[in-house]
Amino acid sequence: MLERAHPYVGNALANGTVVGVATQIVIDDPDDDRVDDFRDLKRADRRPDRPGGKGLVIAEGSVVVRRMLASPYPVRALLGVRRRVNELRDDLADVDCPAYIAAADVMATVVGFYLNRGVLAVADRAPRSSVAELAATARTVAVLEGVNDHENLGALFRNAAALGVDGVVLGAGCSDPLYRRSVRVSMGHVLRVPFATADEWPAALKTLRDNGFRVTALTPRRDAAPLRDVVPGEGERIAVLLGAEGDGLTDAAIEASDVPVRIPMAEGVDSLNVATAGAIAFYELAHKVS
């Protein structure tokens, strides 16, 4: 198999090694072991503690790959058709990793399905903050309980990034936000919004309260305060607590919060998709925190 490699920019050493820049390498054989990180993507993003899990973080498409390259996640390699990889030329100028170039059919054989976005990147997981570390620097946080749908989770991270939320706390029953579908739906924003996993639930809510957060629990209960009436006190920070589709928040989580709040809705409608409800709450509350 013929290998054709060249760096995007920079200087090559005498032995051909390239330092500090992405290097293009053409892959003609889908069985080439250099692209094993991209093989069978439907399982590659499983956490290492799950059967067959590699624990890799996968970015799909130019927009999401750019966000991965700018994130704290250490990029291992790219794989894509030449046109899509070349679109990332400037972003790859200071990246020391291989950029594998493959025809669309070769790429499809490697990943296990046809990928119409044309480019992928894989990265290792980055260290995460504890709930206390996240609370020490944030002004507003989203706190999630039981959000186990990957698309809802990705949409919540995208909304958090857009609407001024500084971080996300994952409570009991939440899925892994670094699964491929969550990363894709978030448009890569899960890679830039800090998050922490609560080891003890709902005790983690006390950690937030001890750090000056007022915990607002979103619920359709009719006796909950209207969202618009929540006004943070001076120096107070806000945590927006959201539950899963269907079941919503547990009674224990609501009781551990400071105030249950609701989004007033038209007669005959009692709930919203969790990502939609989160967006409304983020917009309503984030700008009230000084």
| Reported pTM | 0.89
Alpha-carbon gap, residue 287 to 140, rounded angstroms: 9
Tens of pLDDT along 32-84? 999 999 987 776 656 666 655 678 999 999 999 999 999 999 999 999 999 99
Are the CB atoms for 157 and 275 separated by under 8 Å? no
Alpha-carbon gap, residue 76 to 99, rounded angstroms: 9
DSSP assignments along 101-160, one per residue: E--HHHHHHHHTS--TT-EEEEEPPPP---HHHHHHH-SEEEEEES---HHHHHHHHHHH
DSSP, res 193: S
Name the phi and psi angles at 6, rounded to 5.
-155, 145
Place of tokens 């507003």: 140
Are the CB atoms for 282 and 142 separated by under 8 Å? yes
Tens of pLDDT along 130-181? 999 999 999 999 999 999 999 999 999 999 999 999 999 999 999 999 999 9
Alpha-carbon gap, residue 206 to 283, rounded angstroms: 24
Alpha-carbon gap, residue 272 to 180, rounded angstroms: 25
Which domains are present in the chain? 5-123 (3.30.1330.30), 131-286 (3.40.1280.10)
